[in-house]
Amino acid sequence: MITCDELRLKDKIDTFATFGALDNGGITRLSLSPAALAARDEFCKRCRTLGMEIKTDDMANIYATLKGDENLPAIMMGSHMDSVVQGGNYDGILGVLTALEAAETIVAERIPHRHPITVVVWTNEEGARFDPAMMSSGVIAGKFDKKLMLESKDKEGTTFGEALEASGYMGDIKNRLNRKDYMALVELHVEQGPVLEAEEKDIGIVEGVVGMVNYEFTFIGQADHAGTTPMKYRKDALFAAANVIRYLHDELDKLDSNLVYTTGRMNVSPNIHTIIPDYVKFTLDARHQDSKVINQVVEIIKSVPNEVDRCSVSCKELWSRKTVAFCEEFVDFVEKNTNEYGYSSMRMYSGPGHDAQFIADIIPTTMIFVPSQNGHSHCEKEFTPLENCFKGANVLLQTILDIDKK
């Protein structure tokens, strides 16, 4: 079987690791920042060297395309280049670089292909500079209102619209991904978890993205002096919140073992060591592929009474998503090719969200996972060995070629 070039792929990974590089080996490459724009410039330079045509749309998504032998819709592969603060060198960018390497292999080996083949770079996937995450693919898929997205501000007060106009990458809305001009997307990504490495598997065959709910709880008590208020008279909002968190964890643990849930954000007021807390907010994030389990989670959330430990309690849904199932035929292609290369694999669902989950509403889509060492992601310790990157690139290449033949 045809393979990519491992040393070429290493050069790509090493080069792009310099854009936004930090002293401890990670990167901060926020969307449309100078570091991100430098990475985009390097990407476009390499694409032009391969003879690819480059277009951008109104959300600054980049589409670099190898012309096909026939006038057919294009097959897409790619991911995003932006990172979180103090992130790693593999999340998102590896999907772009393996796609670029697959395209370069097609050019170098003169592999015939009927369809145009496009490497895509999505803008502002992380949402680390401008809320929300997966912004640009979300606008394209009709999940987000473009006007509101343009008004999203970073910590310095710059709007996404201002950064977009200043980037030099804002193109024509006519260049957006659509059902007429594109027929498939395959996104390679690091797993961002420990399962593949723990199970000693080379490739994750991604069947879809799990559904999730995110709720925010609010507790209102009474602020009083920590030294003079007897315990039996207190309305301690933090104590009430702690008891509800314990209750939620105990009840959620009774559900399916594949359910994951997180109390990820908490705000306490007045947050002074001599005052009883009178106001607490915390979030609960829960994820599972089966909608029935998610419904059970919601039932447990709604079973929390409106008064706990003499404090009032309320909750509201911040956001949610349904489980996204990827194209079965493409998932099978990934599994077939993994087996033919002799790589080990397992089928799995993605816990994190990806641009692919939005694009799946427009065109048939699937994903390929490669292992994350020790499960680290969104941090400077994020790492995937070159051998695993290379294996992922090979499976990506052959999957694109299989889709081209169908």
Say what the pLDDT of residue 37 is.
98
Q: Could you name the CATH architecture of 211-321? A: 2-Layer Sandwich (3.30)
What is 257-279 written as a DSSP string?
TT-EEE---EEEES--TTB---E
Q: What is the C-alpha separation between 357 and 138, in angstroms, rounded?
A: 9
Task: Record the pTM.
Answer: 0.90
pLDDT digits (tens, 9 = 90+) for 178-213: 999 999 999 999 999 999 999 999 999 999 999 999
Residue of 285, 290, 295 whose CA lies nearest to 349 = 290
Which two structure tokens, joined as six digits, stand for 170?
């804002």
267 phi/psi in degrees, rounded to 5: -120, 130
pLDDT digits (tens, 9 = 90+) for 93-123: 999 999 999 999 999 999 999 999 999 999 9
Say what the pLDDT of residue 1 is.
86
The pLDDT mean for the chain works out to 97
Does 402 score more than 90 pLDDT?
A: yes
Distance of CA 93 to the CA centre of its chain: 11
Say what the pLDDT of residue 105 is.
98
Q: Where in the chain is the domain with CATH 3.30.70.360?
A: 211-321
pLDDT digits (tens, 9 = 90+) for 360-393: 999 999 999 999 999 999 999 999 999 999 999 9
Q: Is the bond preceding residue 364 a cis peptide, omega within 30 degrees?
A: no
pLDDT digits (tens, 9 = 90+) for 270-307: 999 999 999 999 999 999 999 999 999 999 999 999 99
Residue of 107, 114, 26 whose CA lies nearest to 74 = 114
Mean pLDDT across the stretch 301-328?
Answer: 96
The partner residues of 198 in beta bridges, in order of sequence, read none
Which two structure tokens, joined as six digits, stand for 399?
């999957």
Mean pLDDT across the stretch 56-79?
Answer: 98
Report which DSSP code applies to 160.
H
Q: Could you name the CATH architecture of 6-210+323-405? A: 3-Layer(aba) Sandwich (3.40)
pLDDT digits (tens, 9 = 90+) for 232-246: 999 999 999 999 999
Contact 355, 187 (CB under 8 A): yes
Does 406 score more than 90 pLDDT?
A: no
Q: Where in the chain is the domain with CATH 3.40.630.10?
A: 6-210+323-405
